[in-house]
Amino acid sequence: MTEASEHAFSTEVHPADAPGALGQAAELLAQGQLVALPTETVYGLAADARSPEAVARIFEAKGRPAGNPLIVHVDSVEMAKDCVAAWPSAAAQLAEAFWPGPLSLVLPKADSIPDIVTAGGATVAVRCPAHPVFSAVLAKCGFPLAAPSANRSNRVSPTRAEHVVDQLGGRIPLILDGGACDLGIESTVLDLTGDTPTLLRPGMISLGQLQAVLGPVATAKPPAAAEPLKSPGQLQRHYSPRAKLILVKGDFGAALGQADETTHVIARTAAPAAWPSERWHRLPDAAAGFARELYDTLHRCDQLGAVTILVQPLPDGDKWVALRDRLTRAAGA
């Protein structure tokens, strides 16, 4: 988006349950415009997945690199099948187990999905979201929606409508406010195009849950520099606040000892007596609760002027893998 068009829109924000809000969203999407919508994971920036011109507006509004593909959202297995060239038995099993929900499946793309969606690749990631607002808009549209997170590229994903306003206000016509997202981090992404199902991005549907349905599931290695990306979430630096984020790996107390008045802390334990409470952000000790509050807390740290954010070491275990992935990428480590 050029400087002259940086604030091309007077962005409207409507409660998702306001009369006519869903219809207005569907009408804009049918016209090739962008709408920010809540999902159970994070807010998405939606466009007609069949339209190269509409999808190009996503990349422009976000400042997103053209080589970073998008996830296509559908309201049913039938709509998903229209977006892909093959629907293997593994896809059917996973859809039965986890859809609607936070699981994206990478499959060979159908001709109906333009190359801009897949960054020129031959595969597409599809997901059936569980949020009632997104589902209702999909039903009104009757066509699939490409929808990455509704934020500027590489910044922290939005879990509240106000986060979208902060980053995309003036760049899109409409945001539907559905309240805080239930899960708080992006979907699990599983590639079904190889000999063995391969986890491309961990999420709150864990590797263990996938293996319980499919059997063996591999974990992807970091993509080579020249290798086309099959899904979002594979860049080394992603989900980043403006502040420098450090996921502490050693002695947490020693790291705190080197902090100054511009340092904020995200932890699962109470603050030391001498630590200012406004710079200590205590999150739940369970992975689901931690995930639900993480991005909102990162946004708040930025708003409070944090220069550095220290994150207490995370527990081991399958449930924490996705959170460690997001924080590692947020740190650019």
For position 228, what pLDDT does the model report? 72
For position 221, what pLDDT does the model report? 85
Burial class (CB in 10 A: 0-12, 13-18, 19+), 302: middle
**What's the whole-number average pLDDT of the chain?**
94
For position 4, what pLDDT does the model report? 37
For position 123, what pLDDT does the model report? 97
pLDDT tens-digit series, residues 182-222: 999 999 999 999 999 999 999 999 999 999 999 999 999 87
Distance CA 49, CA 71 (A): 9
For position 238, what pLDDT does the model report? 66
Q: Count the alpha carbons within 13 Å of 218 in the hemisphere toward its beta carbon.
A: 11
Residue 161: closest CA among 266, 11, 262: 11
User: What percentage of the chain exceeds 90 in pLDDT?
Assistant: 89
The count of residues in the chain is: 333
Least confident of 7-16, 89-98, 234-243, 248-257: 234-243
Answer yes or no: is pLDDT of 5 > 60.
no
Answer yes or no: is pLDDT of 16 > 80.
yes
Residues 190 and 105 sit within 8 Å (Cβ to Cβ): yes
Strands (DSSP E) contained in the chain are: 12-15, 35-38, 43-48, 71-73, 103-108, 123-127, 145-146, 174-177, 188-191, 198-201, 218-219, 244-247, 263-267, 280-282, 308-311
Whole-structure pTM value: 0.94
Residue 179: closest CA among 142, 133, 138, 140: 133
Cα Rg of the chain, angstroms:
20
- Residue 221, number of CB atoms within 10 A of its CB: 7
pLDDT tens-digit series, residues 271-317: 999 899 999 999 999 999 999 999 999 999 999 999 999 999 999 99
Answer yes or no: is pLDDT of 3 > 60.
no
Answer yes or no: is pLDDT of 106 > 90.
yes
Burial class (CB in 10 A: 0-12, 13-18, 19+), 236: exposed
pLDDT tens-digit series, residues 50-83: 999 999 999 999 999 999 999 999 999 999 999 9
pLDDT tens-digit series, residues 235-274: 666 678 999 999 999 899 999 999 999 999 999 999 999 8
